[in-house]
Amino acid sequence: MSDAGRKDFSDKLKEGVTPDSSKSTQTKVKETFTDTGDKIARGTQPDDQKSTGQEMSDKFSRSKDREVHGGTGESILDKTKNALGMGDKH
């Protein structure tokens, strides 16, 4: 189960185990858009306002993103604020 406006964990799991080679272009594009929307929601909603399952899923996803892409641990919202000079860090 997922929080309102979020991608369901079972959908994420199915997308992850299905090889890209067996997905249509339309499916790949759809996944890219829904993944991006989910990452934005993940970064803007505080963990204490999420269901337990969604919070655990988000923490795992953030950890995986940091491993794969490197990162500071900041949310997308924090990074945007800092880039615009509106955050605590400059």
**pTM of the full structure:** 0.59
Query: By residue range, what is the domain housing residue 66?
Result: 9-83
Has residue 17 been placed in a domain? yes
Please give the pLDDT value at position 27: 92
Number of domains in the chain: 1
pLDDT tens digits along 40-75:
888 888 888 888 888 888 888 888 777 776 666 667
Has residue 71 been placed in a domain? yes
Looking at residue 18, what DSSP letter applies?
A: S
Strands (DSSP E) contained in 1-90 are: none
Has residue 3 been placed in a domain? no
Please give the pLDDT value at position 25: 92
pLDDT tens digits along 2-44:
577 788 878 888 888 989 899 999 999 998 888 888 888 888 8
Has residue 39 been placed in a domain? yes
Has residue 61 been placed in a domain? yes
Has residue 59 been placed in a domain? yes
Has residue 36 been placed in a domain? yes
Closest CA to 6 of 48, 50, 68, 46: 50
Has residue 16 been placed in a domain? yes
